[in-house]
Amino acid sequence: MSTIRLRYSANCRPCGAVLSPGSEAVWDRTAKSATCVGCVDSPALVGGAADPFAGPAVDRGIAGASARAEYERRSPYGGDTISTQYPRIGNILRWLAGEPQHVAAWLKGSVGEERLGLVFDRIPHAWVLHDRAVPASKANIDHILVVPSGVFVIDAKRYKGKITWSAGHLRVNGRDQTRLGEGILRQVTMIAQALPSEPDVRVTGVLCFVDGSFETRPPFGPGTFVVHSPRTLRYALERPGSYSFDDRQRLAGLLSEAFPPAAS
């Protein structure tokens, strides 16, 4: 938490006052919320149950951490060590060394998650959970976001080529990839099952293609999941909704406990 001058208007979380751009406020980077100087200095709001920053401890995780760790473990050529030692030609050296494709895929996936993570971390009013472990499983969830319009579970994909939606089928370079939706639907179900006390929560499953070119304008999908580009997904996540700060904080705490970071 730090005292800053706001670049955009915001509402003080404790008192609800509108804070105009240029106002001095205390900014909570984790919760992405502002508190006016008057509330920070108020004895009634400092150190007690009414502390504006009180709430569940939420470990946000690190985007792409477990995929990068798996790449480092599998790489017979030192993983990113080559890039660290030879920053200008590291990628070329790895290519010349003939790193197996199934090993390089872990690095490719990690980079995709990291790139999306940078986008998500800049979204106002969002609680962002990166790289979450699924209990009793080797699987992981790339990103969970709790925003005013609900909960989004997001699977990052780095498929290259033309991405289209036609006759109920997702195609990448002409190949039917609709099956990718099966994984995100399982994650949506797991998220809902982790929130038994929140039966009405809106959970949206998203396949986000970080690379590739869209011949069909996103978003699109069968309704059970949605396909987005990073740009259209950001717009969807920034939409207004009915979930208050306290709602989002509560949901993020429950989901962080149910799905801890996959890599520490």
Given a cut of 60, is residue 52 above it in pLDDT? no
User: Residue 101: pLDDT band by 50, 70, 90 thresholds?
Assistant: low
Residue 11 predicted with pLDDT over 80: no
Measured distance CA(180)–CA(170) in Å, rounded: 9
Residue 251, domain member (yes or no): yes
105 or 235: which leads in pLDDT: 235
- The span from the CA of 207 to the CA of 233, in Å, is 10
pLDDT of residue 187: 95
Q: Are residues 126 and 10 in the same domain?
A: no
pLDDT in tens, 72-97: 666 665 555 555 665 666 566 655 55
Q: Indicate if the pLDDT at residue 49 is higher than 60.
A: no
Smallest CA-to-CA distance from 36 within 54, 21, 24 is with 24
Could you tell me if 21 and 147 lie in one domain? no
Q: Which residue has the higher pLDDT, 66 or 85?
A: 66
For the cut 90, the answer to whether the pLDDT of residue 121 exceeds it is no
228 — pLDDT class (breaks 50, 70, 90): very high
175: helix, coil or strand?
Answer: strand
In degrees and rounded to multiples of 5, residue 13 shows phi and psi of -65, -45
What SS3 class is residue 197? coil
Average pLDDT over residues 14-23: 74
Dihedral angle of Cα 114, 115, 121, 125, to the nearest 10 degrees: -120
Task: Assess if residue 237 is contained within a domain.
Answer: yes
CATH code, 219: 3.40.91
Per-residue pLDDT band at 223 (split at 50, 70, 90): confident
Question: Which pLDDT score, from 0 to 100, does residue 143 have?
Answer: 94
Same domain, 115 and 8: no
Do the beta carbons of residue 13 and residue 55 sit within 8 Å? Answer: no
Distances (CA, A) of 218 to 20, 63, 145, 209: 34, 24, 19, 10
Higher-confidence position of 34 and 163 = 163
Specify the higher pLDDT residue, 89 or 165: 165
In a domain, 168, yes or no: yes
Do 120 and 195 belong to one domain? yes
Residue 74 domain-assigned?
no
The reply to whether 156 and 39 lie within a common domain is no
Specify if 78 maps to a domain. Answer: no
Q: What is the pLDDT of residues 181-199, one digit of tens each?
A: 999 999 999 999 999 988 8
Per the structure, the complete domain to which residue 7 belongs is given by 2-45
**Among 47-51, 155-159, 185-189, where is mean pLDDT lowest?**
47-51
- Looking at the structure, tell me whether residues 109 and 228 fall in a common domain: yes
The answer to whether residues 136 and 189 touch, using CB atoms and an 8 Å cutoff, is no
Whether residue 31 sits in one domain with residue 112: no
Q: Do 129 and 252 touch, CB atoms closer than 8 A?
A: yes
pLDDT at 130: 92
Domain shared by 40 and 124, yes or no: no
Res 172 pLDDT > 80: yes
Mean pLDDT of the chain: 80
Burial of 179 (0-12, 13-18, 19+ CB in 10 A): exposed
Tell me: do 41 and 109 sit in the same domain.
no
Q: Are residues 151 and 254 in the same domain?
A: yes
Neighbours of 21 (CB within 10 A): 10
Quote the number of domains for the chain: 2
Residues 138, 216, single domain; the answer is yes
Asked if the model's pLDDT at residue 163 lies above 90, the reply is yes
pLDDT of residue 231 exceeding 80, the answer is yes
The answer to whether 140 touches 130, Cβ cutoff 8 Å, is no
> Given this model, what pLDDT does residue 72 score?
66
41 with 111, same domain: the answer is no
Residue 84 maps to a domain: no
Is residue 155 included in any domain, yes or no?
yes
- Is 64 within the bounds of a domain? no
Pairwise CA distance, residues 33 & 13, whole Å: 7
The per-residue pLDDT for 115 is 85
Phi, psi of 129 (to 5 degrees): -120, 120
